[in-house]
Each structure stands twice: as C-alpha cells, then as structure tokens.
Structure 1
Amino acid sequence: MITPNTLQKGDTIAIVSTARKLKKKELQPALKILESWGLKAVLGKTIGAEENQFAGNEKLRAEDFQQMLDNPYIKAIWCARGGYGTVKMIDMLDFSAFQKNPKWIIGYSDVTVLHSYIHNLGIETLHAQMCLDIENKTEAARESIRKVLFEQEYSIAFNVNTYNKTFQQKQQLSSIQGKIVGGNLSVLYSLCGSNSAINTDGKILFIEDLDEYLYHIDRMMMNLKRNGMLANLKALIIGGMTDMHDNAIPFGKNAEEIILEAVKDYNFPVYFNFPAGHIKDNQAMIFGREVKLNSENDKVILNF
C-alpha cells in the first residue's frame, strides 16, 4: 500500500462535502483547529451549496472533489460531513492524478465509499472525524488526526469487555498482524457486488454503525457473511454501534450478540468497544496500513 505524503506546517488542506449540505459557519471550529496545527484551509464550492439535502448536485460534488484531487498544492482533503451521497458521485471521479500524487482523504461514515474505492487502488486513507462537530469530540480524537498527518508515532489502546472474553476463551491469541480495512457497516453492505467492494481476505476488518434497527444489523452481517467477507479475517474490530433501535416485537439480541452469532463458525478474535465511529472518542485509523493488534491483560493495543 502507498502512504500519502506527510504534511508540513504551511500546507493547505481542502474541505469539501461529498454528501450532505452544511453552512460555512459550521466549519469555524475545524478551521481554528487547522490553524492551530499550522495548516491552511481552502473551502470547496460544495460548502454552502444546496440541492435538497445534498451539498449541491452530484455533478457539482464530483467536480469539487476532482479539482481538489488534481490540485498539486492541496496536500489533503478533509470531508466536511457525512450523511448520504458519496456513492452517487464516486463513478464520476478520475483518480489518475491522485494515484501519481496521493494525498490523505479524511472522513468516516458515508466516506467509507471513498475508503473502499481508494483501498482498491492500493493507497492508504484516514478514517477519522469529519470537520462537522469536531469541537465536541475528545482531544484524543482530534490529536489522532494531527499525528497521522504529520507522521508521528501513533497507537490506540482500548479496554476489552465481556463479549471479547467470551468469544476468545478458546483462542488465546495475543498478537495479530494484518492490513486494517472497513468502515460503516451500512455503507460496506451497500457496496457489495460493486467495483468499490473491498477484499477482506486475510485482513483485519473494522465496522461501526449508527441509528439502525437491530434486524438491519443482522441482515447486513448475513450479507457480509454470504459474500465471503467474514470467512478469512485476521480479526474483527467493532467500534460504536450507536443509537440502535428495536421493533415492538423485540429482535431478541443486541448488536454485539448479533455480530458474534454471524461469526461464530470462524476462528478469529473479535474485539468490541473500539474507540471509533459515531461516538465522542472517534479516533483516527489508517486504512490499508499493516497494523499489529496486541492483547495485554485487560487492554487491546492497535499499533500502526
């Protein structure tokens, strides 16, 4: 995998929206953070643009992103927000110049479309908090973005929980190595069968989701299983499964139990409680990077 270039103070980051609309004033906290890091910001034409719920139509969103991809003075692209819409413009993009001069693409949730597509080009991307609401995330979440952009030493430590221990009693695995991939479960599910779907074979898969019904989680996990995406993982990591819903007639299992049931026939470890996703402590992950996962007592440490 190719690692995008390290940023230097004085470099310029582009902020665009590939999905839902937002106003320029909503970006003020993110702009102040970039300034504190010694970086400059350029706002794309999609910031403040509006077509129904989107930041302009697909043509505008694609042209805006394309311009930032092709501009050699732009050293990274930070997606302003998620929602839905990246998949509607992905096939309009030309990554030829980007492949010759890779830059960090930053975001999560709906930006999983870009992570998956670019992973298939052999280039690392940064799964991390978008601009919107970054002021309400933890300092660790904000610092994790800066550390990756400036190529500083970086790892994530998190606590195990009872679901981890229950599933891993028969495995006793303390160290795992592999490329980390994944993102939002709903988006990964929607990409199955397309040229943006990722090959998870022999890799560490990360998933998270927001505002889904429990039976939808089951449906999506079964889809990944039937597509062979769970069969040969090195490990499965689960971030925030946030604001899950149930029907009047209960599904009977929570999100953790649904996931464990989907992978019960496979012999790889499963780690819950990872600090990433639609949660306050949304720490950055370098997708496509060969990482090491160590289990030590009541902690799990992901080393990039």
Structure 2
Amino acid sequence: MIYPEYVKKGNVIGITAPSEGNKKETDFTRLNNGKEQLRKRGYEVIETAHVRTSNKGRSTDAGTRTKELAELINNDNVKWIISAKGGDFLLEMLPLMDFNHIKANPKWIQGYSDNTGLTYTITTHCDIATLYGCNFNDFGMEVWHKAMEDNLQLVEGDINTVHSFDQYEDGFYDRITGLEGYQLEKPVCWRNLQGEDEISMTGRLLGGCLDVLLHMVGTRFDRTKEFIEKYKENGILWYLESFALDSEAITLGLWQLKEAGWFQYTKGFIFGRPAFFNPNYDISYDEAVLSVLEEFHVPIILDADIGHKLPQMTIVNGAMAKIHSKDGKGTVSYDFI
C-alpha cells in the first residue's frame, strides 16, 4: 500500500470538481472562507477552472473534469487534492483517467459521496491510500468543528486515531451566510448490531458510498477481487454508508456485492448513518443489513460517524486500522503499513 507523504506548512492544497461544482453565493462564500482558513494555517490553496460552475449536475464535461484533476496530479507542489462537492456523475470520468500516471504521482485525494468513484478506484487500481472525508466547503465554516481539525492533523501526521463525536446533524439545511457550522441536534450513538458489549476488529479498510459502489460493481473498473486477494492475510474491514437507498435497495445491494465476491475476506463491517432511508415492506435498516451479512459471523457496527449525516471522521481508505466500539462511542486507529 502506498501512503502519500504527509502535508507540511507551505505545501499546496488543490481543489477540483470531479462531480458537481459550486453554484450558489453561499457556496462561494464558504469556498472562499475555506481557502482563507487553510491559508491561515500555513497552506497555499489553488482551485481548478470549474470549481465555481455547474451545468446539469456537473461542474463541466467529463473530459475537462479529468484534465483538471490531472493538472493537480501533475503539479509537484500540490500534496493534497480535495473535491469541491459531491453529486451524481463522477463515474463518467473513469474511462478517461490514466491510473498508471496517478500511481506514479501519489498524493492525498479526498472526498465522499459521489467521490467514491475516485477514492475507491484509486485505492483498488493503484494501491494508493485515499481519504474518505469531507468535501472542501466544510472547511469554510466560520468556527471549525473538531472533525476539520482532526482531518488536518491526520493528513499532517500529528494523529493516527480519530474518535466519534458527541452530536450530529440529522437533516439537511439551507445556509444563510455560508459560514454556518453543523446544526448539531442528536447524540451520536454507535450500535453493535448483534448485541455485543464491545467490538474490537482489525483489518484493511475499504469502502465508500454504497449508492456509488453499486454502479461500479461488475464493470471494467471493478478491481475489488484483485485487491482483496492481495490483502487477504490482513482481512478487509468494510466501511459503507448510503445516501438514498431504502430497505429493498440496501438488502439487494449488499446481496449483489456478496454474490460478486466482494466480502470473501471480510473481518467486519462498519456503517455510517444513512442519509435517507425508508423501511419499505416493514423492513428496518438493521434487518436489511443483518439479512445479508449475518452469515459471515463477523462484527457489524451501525450509525458510525461516516458519510452524509455530519460530522464525519476521516477514513483512510486502504489503510490498516483497528476499530473499537463500546457504549455508543468509537475510535478508528490507523497503522500505515
């Protein structure tokens, strides 16, 4: 596994928009303040040409998005690339990407949701660790949440453990100024699905947004089986979260990944809080997950600080990790081997 070098004061952080771009004035305010926040902490921040454009759910066409990502890959001064936004159409870039070139120029690449299309494929194609964490605009809140401080300290190499938070934002809210923090309204409570008092599991992390992974499985960009075969001695800890999958979609989606052989060497699962979920057919989220994954006889954690219901921990995709869950709280500790 290739781990990009830690970032240092004076390095350049690059923002690009491989999915949707910013389009609202509040987005621009947040983007500008995020750049200023990181500049105050010693970093230069640059952005590619279409971070502030949007057309039919895309920042620009797939070819241009691919070229703009390549601009940052080719810039030796850029050590950390952060996606501007999520969205729906990032996968259009995959046929145009040069994974060999990315592997030859490893640097931290970060984003979540639709950016699974980058983080997952780069890790499984290139053996480069990537960051499943906030998109850039979260750095633009006026007073940083601890999630942002942890994110930066992790990439700087100052910490190797991230902790669950106290509260989370349960809904999605329009911003007035663009500088708002998270609207923390419910207590964080990790749940050990099969009733364990405590879970401690170790393995190599792999995962992302389930909505996106279900579009990728079985395509020519799916290198999952090769990846898990290479790291089978470590075992795989799957981290997954969903945006808009209901009970039948969760059930059948996990079934599809199971039957595709993705979970062959699993040592455990950790799920983020689902963004939108309807218990169709009177099937709860717990029942949907357990109906497919119970047969693996491994620990399963639900409602972790991963994904769309913010704040979220920064997950190092491809890294060895120990996950601990007890009394509704949890930690992820990394070992970069």
What TM-score results when the alignment is normalised by the length of structure 2?
0.81
Q: Which moved more, 1:294-303 or 1:110-119?
A: 294-303
Counterparts in 2 of 1:138 and 1:219: CA distance versus 1, 3 Å: farther
Counterparts in 2 of 1:194 and 1:260: CA distance versus 1, 3 Å: same
Q: Say whether 1:244 aligns with 2:277.
A: yes
Question: Do the aligned partners of 1:69 and 1:95 also contact (CA within 8 Å) in 2?
Answer: no
Deviation by residue 1:73-113 (Cα, 9 ceiling, x = unmatched): 21111100011121101221123343223110010111111
Q: Say whether 1:140 aligns with 2:146.
A: yes
Specify which of 194, 198, 204 is matched with residue 167 of structure 1.
194
Aligned-pair CA distance for 1:168:
5.0
Matches within 5 A, 1:78-157: 78-120=82-124, 121-135=126-140, 139-157=145-163
Question: Do the aligned partners of 1:16 and 1:78 also contact (CA within 8 Å) in 2?
Answer: yes
> 3-state DSSP class of the match of 1:88?
helix
User: For residue 48 of structure 1, what is the aligned residue in structure 2?
Assistant: 52
User: For residue 18 of structure 1, what is the aligned residue in structure 2?
Assistant: 18
Deviation by residue 1:100-127 (Cα, 9 ceiling, x = unmatched): 2311001011111111211121110011
Aligned-pair CA distance for 1:51:
3.0
The structure 1 segments of at least 4 consecutive aligned residues displaced by more than 6 Å after TM superposition are none
Counterpart-to-counterpart distance in 1, 2:37 and 2:144 = 13
Aligned-pair CA distance for 1:298:
5.4
Runs of at least 5 residues in structure 2 that lack an aligned partner in the other structure: 165-187
User: For residue 256 of structure 2, what is the aligned residue in structure 1?
Assistant: 223
User: For residue 263 of structure 1, what is the aligned residue in structure 2?
Assistant: 293
What letter matches 2:134 in structure 1? Answer: Q
What letter matches 1:100 in structure 2? Answer: A
Question: Do the aligned partners of 1:113 and 1:196 also contact (CA within 8 Å) in 2?
Answer: no
Counterparts in 2 of 1:103 and 1:219: CA distance versus 1, 3 Å: same
Specify which of 274, 278, 286 is matched with residue 316 of structure 2.
286
Counterpart-to-counterpart distance in 2, 1:116 and 1:261 = 25
Counterparts in 2 of 1:215 and 1:297: CA distance versus 1, 3 Å: closer
Q: Which moved more, 1:179-188 or 1:30-39?
A: 30-39
> 3-state DSSP class of the match of 1:265?
helix
Aligned-pair CA distance for 1:299:
4.1
Deviation by residue 1:188-226 (Cα, 9 ceiling, x = unmatched): 111101243324552000000113332222221121121
Aligned-pair CA distance for 1:138:
6.6
Q: Say whether 1:177 aligns with 2:202.
A: yes
Counterpart-to-counterpart distance in 2, 1:128 and 1:32 = 20
Aligned residues: 297
Aligned-pair CA distance for 1:42:
0.8
Question: Do the aligned partners of 1:168 and 1:269 also contact (CA within 8 Å) in 2?
Answer: no
Counterpart-to-counterpart distance in 2, 1:29 and 1:254 = 40
Counterparts in 2 of 1:93 and 1:269: CA distance versus 1, 3 Å: same
Runs of at least 5 residues in structure 1 that lack an aligned partner in the other structure: none
User: For residue 268 of structure 2, what is the aligned residue in structure 1?
Assistant: 235
> 3-state DSSP class of the match of 2:308?
coil
What letter matches 2:39 in structure 1? Answer: E
Q: Which moved more, 1:216-225 or 1:53-62?
A: 216-225
What letter matches 1:239 in structure 2? Answer: G
What TM-score results when the alignment is normalised by the length of structure 1?
0.89
Q: Say whether 1:302 aligns with 2:332.
A: yes
> 3-state DSSP class of the match of 2:282?
coil
Counterpart-to-counterpart distance in 2, 1:245 and 1:252 = 9
Aligned-pair CA distance for 1:295:
4.5
Counterparts in 2 of 1:134 and 1:11: CA distance versus 1, 3 Å: closer
